[in-house]
Amino acid sequence: MSGFENFGVPSDLADSVRMECGICWTCYDPAEGDAVAQIPAGTAFTALPEDWRCPTCDAPKSKFMAIEA
């Protein structure tokens, strides 16, 4: 097993944390939301629907990593 495996979305993320896809490096910024999936601005990553996927490469939420501020 790789040391880079991600086993789910942490539930203790701050609402303003930006997340980056570990597959294609697309950023999810809560301040912007996701126009592709019609997610309104201000939606925290942890509040995204369970079936939400990366708008660029279709990776699941579990492949996203927090971006250091």
- Long-range contacts (CB closer than 8 Å, 24 or more residues apart) made by 42-46: 44/13, 44/14, 44/15, 44/16, 44/17, 45/9, 45/13, 45/17, 45/19, 46/9, 46/11, 46/13, 46/15
Distance of CA 38 to the CA centre of its chain: 15
- Rounded to whole angstroms, the Cα distance separating 31 from 43 reads 7
Q: What is the CATH number of the domain that holds 21?
A: 2.20.28.10
Residue type, 31: A
Whether the model pTM is above 0.95: no
Domain total for the chain? 1
On whether residue 10 sits in a domain, the answer given is: no
On whether residue 9 sits in a domain, the answer given is: no
Give the tens place of pLDDT for each residue, 1-39.
344 455 556 667 889 999 999 999 999 999 999 999 999
Which DSSP helix (H) or strand (E) runs through 15? none
Domain enclosing residue 34, as ranges: 17-69
- Is pLDDT at 58 greater than 80 in this prediction? yes
